[in-house]
Amino acid sequence: MKTIIFILLFNTLSYASFLDDFIFYRAQNCYKNREYLKALNLFKSIEYKDEKVYYNIANTLFKLKRYKSSIAYYKMVDSVNLAYKVFYNIANAKAALKDYKSAIAFYKTALKYKDSKNARYNLNLAIKELSKLKKKEAKLKKSAASYEAKLDNFDRDDLSKIADAKDPKVMKKGYNFSKGVDFSSSKAKFISVSKSPKKVKKVKNIEDKLQEIDIANRLNSKKLNTLFIPLN
């Protein structure tokens, strides 16, 4: 009876292995043909997954720009033979996510396993991008602080003086100070006045607005010519 069970089990495993190999072969072809979503579904359908399967799933996710998910699968690969590729590709994924600090660390780890021209190039590029990012963040903070200072220095009395002077432009437009002001030649354009004449509301989240503008400019700028692509 034990012999029969052993034979049945052996045959079942052999069939599963053959089927997995066939699916893996189909998935690879889809990947080569840039049918990444189809390739991903096939790779994931493999029943007995090993490091090779996890690595290919990670690469496919990278191609689909699902960088965080690709990193998770790269970390499932526990193979010394694939160590360089795994760390290099994680670094690329981190760089794609603009996490240059982490990318630098992973490039350095990859270089411990293999001295690669591509890894060194990307490492230097990530260092430069991190430096640019820090400079832009410092500039944004400085701009935000400058706006905050202007708002802090803007006194309610300034509004009263303008109103008392009966500025023709102001009177012509008939601004209601209880609802708000909009003087193009005054710092008042940065604020709105509350119902209480003694209270002035500052524009909130100035730094966030500046960052949104910066992000939009980055998206419209020319894309970097890099080697941030996964190794197959």
pLDDT at residue 95 greater than cutoff 50:
yes
Residue 225 has pLDDT above 90, yes or no: no
- How many whole angstroms separate alpha carbon 89 and alpha carbon 124? 16
Of 113-117, 182-186, 209-213, highest mean pLDDT: 113-117
pLDDT-derived band at 34 (thresholds 50, 70, 90) equals: very high
What pLDDT is attached to residue 16? Answer: 62
**How far apart are the C-alpha atoms of 81 and 84, rounded to whole Å?**
8
pLDDT recorded at residue 7: 53
- What residue ranges define each of the domains in the chain, with the CATH number in brackets? 2-133 (1.25.40.10), 154-198 (no CATH)
